Amino acid sequence: MSPRRSLGIAAAGVAAAGYIAFLTCIYTGMRDVMRTSGGFCANGGPYVIAHQCSSGDVRLVVFGILGILVCGAVFAAATGWLDGSVLGSGLAMWTALFGALGWNFIDLGLSPPHGMHGSGGWIVSGVVFWLMALGGLAGALALLAGWIRRGGRPEEPEFAVTPLVRANVPGSPGAFT
């Protein structure tokens, strides 16, 4: 295996680990806010805030979002560097993100925290998140199926590139006389 390929695969592995690690942080922070504050909280400003965000939840969500953006970009770039499908890797990350966060909505919507009433909105949000995840999964699977059908060969270009200006070679087919 060439050094370029080894480096690309290593970068993809590290970025995938980082992406899932930071996604776990977002998942944990979101779940904590839903359990302790009914799903919303705020910090700062001149008004009295009913649900103060804990500094831990703020750290989890902020570092989590920044982390998945950076790791997601590195993962897609490494996949592209290996001549893989950037779109496919992006769709896989999309599916993981909305699938995991959708599970939080569905799970806590079906068994809400003690003392909480009316969690129907969470179930609706969870269904919407899972539909979005399903869209990403369908796209990723379609790309995978196409790749398997082609036997791993790159996709044919959709438009054939024909030259607009050609040399007039006397005697050749289609030559001007």
Partner 1 sequence: MSRAAAVIWFAISLAGSGAGLALGHVLAQALK
List residues near partner 1 by CB under 8 A: 5, 8-10, 12-25, 28-29, 32, 56-57, 59-60, 63, 75, 79, 82-84, 147, 151-152
Q: Which residue has the tokens 């359990």?
A: 35
Q: Coil, strand or helix: which one is 72?
A: helix
C-beta closer to partner 1: residue 73 or 127? 73
Q: Please report how close the Cβ of residue 133 comes to partner 1 at its closest, in angstroms.
A: 16
Residues 94 and 102: their CA atoms lie apart, in Å, by: 12
C-beta closer to partner 1: residue 14 or 77? 14
User: Considering only CA atoms, which of 168, 38, 79 is closest in space to residue 30?
Assistant: 38
How many degrees, rounded to 5, is the angle at CA 157 between CA 154 and CA 160?
A: 145
C-beta closer to partner 1: residue 12 or 133? 12
What element of type H or E holds 36?
Answer: helix 3-37
List of residues 6+ apart from 18 with CB closer than 8 A: 67, 70, 71, 74
Residues 55 and 59: their CA atoms lie apart, in Å, by: 6
Q: Please report how close the Cβ of residue 35 comes to partner 1 at its closest, in angstroms.
A: 13
C-beta closer to partner 1: residue 57 or 129? 57
Q: Please report how close the Cβ of residue 83 comes to partner 1 at its closest, in angstroms.
A: 5
C-beta closer to partner 1: residue 6 or 121? 6
Question: Which residues, in sequence order, are bridge partners of residue 52?
Answer: 42
Q: Please report how close the Cβ of residue 112 comes to partner 1 at its closest, in angstroms.
A: 22
Q: Please report how close the Cβ of residue 43 comes to partner 1 at its closest, in angstroms.
A: 16
